[in-house]
Amino acid sequence: MPDGCMDLLWCAGRLVVAGPDTAAHFAAWSADGPVVGLRLPPGMGPAVLGVPARELRDQRVELEDVWPAGEVRRIAEKAGESGPGAVLEALAAERLREAGGVDPVMAAVAGHLARGASVAAVAEATGLDTRRLHRKSTAAFGYGPKTLARILRFTRALEAARAGTAYAEVAATTGYADQAHLSREVRALAGVPLGTLT
């Protein structure tokens, strides 16, 4: 489901990148063994992977389509020998260090939007005009700030509903006009009713 994140996945010796989603995505491969994934929070994927998030939006691609094939084979072999989780974590930490970390302005954008701030308030808080905010957001998150805000609001609503909060209260506290609006947004983003997800 859309959550603003990107994923680096190890599946039966294959390394796959899952780009930021705008709708629910169901895996199209069958796994011969466990699938191990590393979730990259909003804005971190481009620093780790070295490509703008917009290039991977709503896609699942082999890591060798992003990085040199020889490097990917070496990583896959190491993951198969010593455990994919630890290898993926170490790899992401190393690449993040080499990239100088996540862009602090874009981390602030994600933080403001995650707390429900409006795009105008985020632009003002970060000192970015709306065009520059949109351009930097598509590179960092895979979509503009309005779409990221929509997805992060959906994530907050889903967390509240899973915690047992009544749906009408979820709608009111997470910024939806009413429960019907919440229901439409959940179905649009997740492809199923809210009750299926809680």
CATH assignment of the domain containing 123: 1.10.10.60
Domain-terminating residue out of 80, 98, 116: 98
Domain membership of residue 16 as a residue range: 6-98
Confidence of residue 27 (pLDDT cuts 50, 70, 90): low
One domain for residues 111 and 176: yes
Confidence of residue 195 (pLDDT cuts 50, 70, 90): very high
pLDDT digit string (tens) for 114-152? 999 999 999 999 999 999 999 999 999 999 999 999 999
Token digits for 173?
Answer: 């506290």
**Number of domains, the chain:** 2
One domain for residues 121 and 84: no
One domain for residues 88 and 126: no
Confidence of residue 28 (pLDDT cuts 50, 70, 90): low
Contact by Cβ (8 Å): 116, 173: no
Give the separation between CA 193 and CA 25, rounded to whole angstroms: 15
1 belongs to a structural domain: no
pLDDT digit string (tens) for 159-178? 999 999 999 999 999 999 99
Domain-terminating residue out of 41, 68, 98: 98
One domain for residues 10 and 88: yes
Domain-terminating residue out of 76, 98, 120: 98
Residues whose CB is less than 8 angstroms from the CB of residue 47 and which lie 6 or more positions away in sequence, other chains included: 95, 96, 99, 100, 101, 102, 103
